[in-house]
Structures are given as structure tokens and as C-alpha cells.
Amino acid sequence: MTRARRFFSCLGDDVRLASMLLIHAEKELCVCELVEALNENQSKISRHLGQLRNCGLVKDRRQGQWVFYSLHPELPDWAIKILEQSSVAEARSLKVMTQRLGSMRNRPERATVDA
């Protein structure tokens, strides 16, 4: 009863939950984008992302001055499904955050790794 419990502990914090849901929705986000979308200070965001990384929920890649976070490729299927359900539950606030993201100026460009 420890895999799932660890997963839930990670999601049991507003910043981490919101980060996970946004990353899930947007595929990949850098710290400064999350800072903007969640409207929280950088140190807080970084710290929580670090935790998510340590727990194996996300992976990071550096590109220039930015560090981009995405869901860890080996996240089990049940974990993904739980994120999907959580997105349903939090659709409202997720929308607000996505809008803040959309109206953000100077978003870093990705080195289009994907297709």
C-alpha cells in the first residue's frame, strides 16, 4: 500500500496537484510558466517540482536557461487515469490557470522535440 499512497501524498498539495494537472494538459511546461499560471513565487514552484521529480512523477529537461517538466514516461496507467479524473474534478480551476497561461507574454519557445 505504498506506491499509490506515495502518489496521493504528492497530489495532496495544491501547488503539486495543479502543476501535475497543468503539465498533463499541456504536455510540457517550464518553471516560469507554472509560476505565472499558478500565481505563486518561483522558489515555491521549484521546490514542489523537485519533489515531484524525486517521487518519479515528472521528468525534466534543460533547454537553454529553461527547465521543462513533463510527466514521467513510465508513469503507470492507473496514475494517468487518476490524473484524468482529477482534471474532471478540477476542471474549473484548471481552466483559469490555462487562461493565465494563454495570456502570458514572452513564453519561451520549445525546441520542437515532438513530431
For the segment 28-87, give every residue that binds DNA (CB under 7 A): 30-32, 35, 41-44, 46-51, 60, 62, 64-67
3-state SS of the chain? Answer: CCHHHHHHHHHCCHHHHHHHHHHHHHCCEEHHHHHHHHCCCHHHHHHHHHHHHHCCCEEEEEECCEEEEEECCCCCHHHHHHHHHHHHHCHHHHHHHHHHHHCCCCCCCCCCCCC
Q: CB 77 → DNA: shortest distance, Å?
A: 25
* Interface mask toward its own copies for 74-113; x: CB under 8 A: --x-xx-xx--xx-xxx--x--------------------
Nearer to DNA, 69 or 77 (CB): 69
